Structure 1
Amino acid sequence: MKTKRILVWFRNDLRLHDNEMLVEAVAKSDSILPVYFFDPRYFEDARVGALKTGVARGQFLLESVAALRTAFQKLGGDMLLVYGKPEDHIKQLAEQFEITEVYHHREVGPEETLISTHVEDLLWTLKINLKHFIGHTLYNKEDLPFPIKDIPDVFAQFKKKTERDAMVKTCFLIPEEIAFVEVEDWGQIPDLKQLGFEWDGVKLDNYADGGEEAGLRHLEILLQEGSAVYQKPIPKPTADKPGFTAKISAWLAIGCVSPRKVYWMVKAAEGRHGTNANFNHMLLGLLWRDYFRFMFKKHGIGFFDEPDFENVFKNMDGAAVIPELENWKAAITGHPIVDRYMEELNTTGFIPHVGRMLVATYLIYVLKIHWIYGAAYFEEKLIDYAPASNWGNWANVAGIGKDVKSKNTFDLDKQMKILEISISDSPSFA
């Protein structure tokens, strides 16, 4: 009797906990074949003067893949690592290992969705099903109080109705035992140089170590800090000192930690310490992540209320160098707070939300440079880059998102005032 083997295609879901795709694959197969593809398109392609993946996120990714591989090895198996496009290898892998079904998490970005379509078409020629899972959001789409097509475009309405009428499901447990397909050569994790990065072997100056265990440990620390700092008076956040910042977004972006795990750990912390503004801030961030993902699921690139968006984007490739843009990237604009945040972005791969709003405001409304250049540069540099959140936030700042009238998105007058004040009232950055 032929055994059932399921290929589990990992993408931005590099964890064992709360992973419905993995749990179902283990339950419905005789053995699984975990696979991760290092897709060269994410390391070789450059557009609009920026790479798709910068060295900081490249390092974080390698650490996260290595951590998941180690977790599988502790369970008696491994994860097959392949350098190449999924659509160039998946058919051969399915034939070689006699795969009966392929599981993967569905993405909402147009490029990622197209890759899934190519793989699905190839597998169809072998009469193998590609099963889609949705594990990147706090709320499953079927648990929302409205169908995708009727999701409110205004975030405040989405938040109100979702919090009132939807429930957050409990997390899936980590499988206690996993049977793995036998593989002679599981492949090697490439280093940064093999992915095309210039790197001297020194650990980059970022705040994050990749991987599920590191993410959960970091979350525990954040919750302790979030409770502790709120038990004593703290200064009002400013552009210079933004206050408590929940730096869990990098692990969320690549799926080392699930949003539901964050939610329930925050709720547990609230049970111990009570609610406070820090915990509310973390939960609000999870809702914003959901909102942008569902907006792109609903509208696609139609989310951008800009005529001929695709051609505008294409025409920017190979365009003449813009000196003001290059100064903005290099953190030498002469504006103290903008340069401070851009330097932080370039060296750590992270800046808080207030910093992102300020540097985006400066690029778009002071330098008068098209927002797409800024979004593309953030795509390269951010260690917590997530397509929907990054491009959605930039669109809101530029005033071409679907929620431009909401008071909860972007207040241009407020941001411009902060920029003006920071020039005259920032002696420490002068």
Structure 2
Amino acid sequence: MNGLIWFRNDLRTIDNHSLYNACRENEKVIGIYCLDPRHFETTQYGFKKTEKFRTQFLLETVTELQQNLANKNITLLIYLGYPEQIIPKVIAQYQIDTIYHQTEWTTEEIEVATEVQNSIPTVDWKTHYDQFLFHPDDVPYEDWEKIPEVFTEFRKQLEKKIRVRPTVAITAKPISNVIEEKTDIPTLDDLGFEPFEQPHTTAFPFKGGENQAHNRIQDYFWDTKKLAVYKKTRNGLVGKDYSSKLSAWLANGSISARTIYWEVQEFEKKVIKNEDTYWLIFELIWRDYFKYISLKHGNKIFQLNGILQKEYHWNQNTKAFHQWTNGNTREHFVNANMIELQKTGWMSNRGRQNVASFWAKEWEQDWRIGAAYFESMLIDYDVHSNYGNWMYNAGVGNDPRDRKFNIKRQAELYDANGKFQKMWLTPELF
């Protein structure tokens, strides 16, 4: 039997159930990754769907994945092209019996998978929910409609009733599993981008890839033990260590939520167990929650009225968009965060909440434009967390209170000495 793993947002060898099952069930196994040109096109709003920052991180990630798989005698073929055109050719060439891939449920991913499936009807498909902390088969809901609309209820139910599953790993295949075909990994230039260097002030000076994710855990958990103060520092704005920064590797699946969870458990056994260590798990549960809300509500997460189907007056002002993205609003704190994003592809959690609130609640601009801009720019873009958080901040998501941030007060609380704002804005403003 011959198996093909179609990698998408699960770009890892450790704790990858598609890879694990393909290796157990097949004599011959190969992997494929397609850089889909649609991800690099210009959106209806006039900017690229994926900008250079996440693209660079992705290229670094697939490069490392290819090497890690090669170490297990598994070939990863990497192509620039449409999956529905490329995968059928690979299926035919290597006489594939079964395709393994991670379950996706948002529109664009489903449409591509359906096109691929329709073009090769004789091949078996095996999919796995593999981006959760709490596996969908384990949660205490008979169907997605029963998922609570309030996060706290969801968290308490799952923490009480569910045990996180153990991670899985593969052993190397025989050397005979390696195929002769080699593919060149596309470059930034191939995808329409100029090479670039990150400014030294970036809070995310990290590379993409599974090994890099594990290096980060080693540094943040074990070498510096910063995990022990995570909750106290997580609202920081400057430097690489105010938060774990694991979101980028989680977003493209270079590391699994389960791997992080069990590493926290180990840290709590060997170093310290406190509110700070728990808070990283708390954030993983929030991440899960947005995925479950997306499963429950489907395309409502992309609609103007959100999952609450709440009507507000929204504007679509191009001048406002340019002011916001270029850091030319009346709020220095918003401006500094937006320039950081523009120059580095990163923004803190505290910054994201404030700039989203300003765009949606102060200026009453269409929140979906802000969400699409984040999708373009953020290294750690995750469809469910991004749109879930934007709905939340726009008052059409999982927060019926419809709050608005007092941005001047936020700046006083989190950047009292103006260090962050001075870093990204013209000094004479202060």
Cα drift, residue 224 of structure 1: 3.6
The structure 2 residue matched to 1:350, chosen from 341, 346, 352, is: 346
- The answer for the alignment partner of 1:46 in structure 2 is 43
Deviations 1:41-74 (A, max 9, x none): 1112423233211101000000000001111222
Output the amino acid matched with 2:150: V
Question: Match for 2:88: what amino acid?
Answer: K
The match for 1:371 is 367
2:242 paired residue among 228, 241, 244: 244
Per the alignment, residue 118 of structure 1 pairs with 115
The alignment status of 1:399 with 2:399, answered yes or no, reads: no
Aligned pairs (5 A) from 1:319-330: 322-330=318-326
Give 1:177's aligned amino acid: K
1:21 aligns with 2:21: no
Deviates further, 299-308 or 148-157: 299-308
What one-letter code is carried by the residue in structure 1 that aligns with 2:14?
A: H
2:6 corresponds to 1:9: yes
CA shift at 1:89, angstroms? 1.7
Cα 1:14–1:106 change in 2 (3 A) is same
**What is the Cα deviation at residue 141 of structure 1?**
0.3
Which of 54, 71, 84 does residue 87 from structure 1 map onto?
84
1:141 partner SS = coil
**1:166 and 2:167 correspond:** no
The aligned runs of 1:95-106 (5 Å cut-off) are 95-106=92-103
1:61 aligns with 2:52: no
User: Aligned partners of 1:232 and 1:128: how far apart in 2?
Assistant: 47
Q: Which residue of 1 aligns with 2:311?
A: none
Q: Which residue is 2:124 aligned to?
A: 129
TM-score in terms of structure 2 length: 0.87
The SS at the match of 2:60 is: helix
- The letter for the 2-side match of 1:298 is K
The structure-2 alpha-carbon separation of the partners of 1:221 and 1:161, relative to structure 1 and needing over 3 Å to count, comes to same
> In the TM superposition, what whole-angstrom CA distance separates every residue of 1:164-184 from its partner, at most 9, and x where no partner exists?
111101100232335665543
Residues matched between the structures, number: 411
More divergent stretch after superposition (114-123 vs 35-44): 114-123
How far off is 1:344 after superposition? 1.6
The partner residue of 1:107 within 104, 108, 113 is 104
Correspondence for 1:300 among 288, 298, 309: 298
Aligned to 1:209: 207
- Per the alignment, residue 223 of structure 1 pairs with 221
Q: How far does residue 129 in structure 1 lie from its aligned partner after superposition? A: 1.5
Answer yes or no: is the 8 Å Cα contact 1:11–1:36 preserved in 2.
Answer: yes
Shift of 1:31: 0.6
Stretch deviating more after TM superposition (78-87 or 57-66): 78-87
Does the aligned pair in 2 maintain the 1:30–1:179 contact within 8 Å? no
Report the CA distance between 1:372 and its aligned residue.
Answer: 1.0
Asked if structure 2 preserves the Cα contact closer than 8 Å seen for 1:226 and 1:244, the reply is no
Whether contact under 8 Å (1:72, 1:79) holds in the other structure is: yes
The whole-number CA distance in structure 1 between the counterparts of 2:283 and 2:256 is 13
Q: Is the Cα–Cα contact under 8 Å of residues 102 and 129 in structure 2 kept in the other structure?
A: yes
Shift in CA distance, 239/75, structure 1 to aligned 2, threshold 3 Å: closer
Cross-structure match for 1:157 = 153
Letter in 2 for 1:132: T
1:313 match: none
- Counterparts in 2 of 1:255 and 1:232: CA distance versus 1, 3 Å: closer
Counterparts of residues 408-427 of structure 1 (less than 5 Å): 411-412=403-404, 414-416=405-407, 418-419=409-410, 421=412, 427=418
| Residue equivalent to 2:356 | 360
Q: For the structure 1 residues 229 and 63, does the alpha-carbon distance in structure 2 shift closer, same or farther, using more than 3 Å as the test?
A: closer
2:267 matched to which residue of 1?
Answer: 269
User: Equivalent residue for 1:196?
Assistant: 192
* CA distance in structure 2 between the partners assigned to 1:367 and 1:242 by the alignment: 31
What is the alpha-carbon distance in structure 1 between the residues aligned to residue 246 and residue 328 of structure 2?
A: 29
Are the equivalent residues in 1 in contact too, given 2:231–2:279 (CA < 8 A)? Answer: no
The two structures have a TM-score, normalised by structure 1, of 0.87
Q: Is the 8 A contact 2:210 2:254 kept in 1?
A: yes
Equivalent AA in structure 2 for residue 405 of structure 1: P
Q: Name the amino acid aligned to 1:133.
A: H
Amino acid at match of 1:29: N
SS of 2:75's partner is coil
- DSSP-derived class of the 1:82 partner: strand
Which blocks of at least 5 consecutive residues in structure 2 are unaligned? Answer: 308-313, 422-429
In the alignment, the residues of structure 2 paired with residue 97 and residue 237 of structure 1 have an alpha-carbon distance, to the nearest angstrom, of: 50
- 2:341 touches 2:347 (CA, 8 Å); kept in 1? yes
Which of 121, 128, 141 is 1:146 aligned to?
A: 141
CA distance in 1, matches of 2:67, 2:47: 32
Q: Secondary structure at the match of 1:102?
A: strand
Counterpart secondary structure, 1:171: coil
Deviates more, 1:218-227 or 1:260-269: 218-227
3-state SS in 1 of match to 2:258: helix
> In structure 1, the residue corresponding to 2:140 is in which secondary structure?
coil
Tell me if structure 2 keeps the 8 A contact 1:19–1:172: yes
Q: How big is the alpha-carbon RMSD for the aligned residues of Structure 1 and Structure 2?
A: 3.0
Report the CA distance between 1:76 and its aligned residue.
Answer: 3.0
**Residue deviations 1:365-417 (CA, integer Å, cap 9, x gap):** 2222111111011001100001010011001100111x2237xxx742x5446
CA positional deviation for 1:88: 1.2
2:425 matched to which residue of 1? none
Tell me, yes or no, if structure 1 residue 388 matches structure 2 residue 379: no
Shift of 1:325: 1.3
**Counterparts of 1:234 and 1:396, CA distance in 2:** 23
- The separation in 1 between residues aligned to 2:35 and 2:230, in whole angstroms, is 46
Gaps in structure 1 of 5+ consecutive residues:
310-315
Partner Cα separation in structure 2 for residue 172 and residue 50 of structure 1? 39
| Distance in 1, Cα, partners of 2:43 & 2:361 | 25
Does the 8 A contact of 1:226 with 1:279 survive in 2?
A: no
Note the C-alpha offset of 1:256.
Answer: 0.6
Residues 91 and 48 (structure 1), Cα distance of their counterparts in 2 relative to 1, 3 Å cut? same
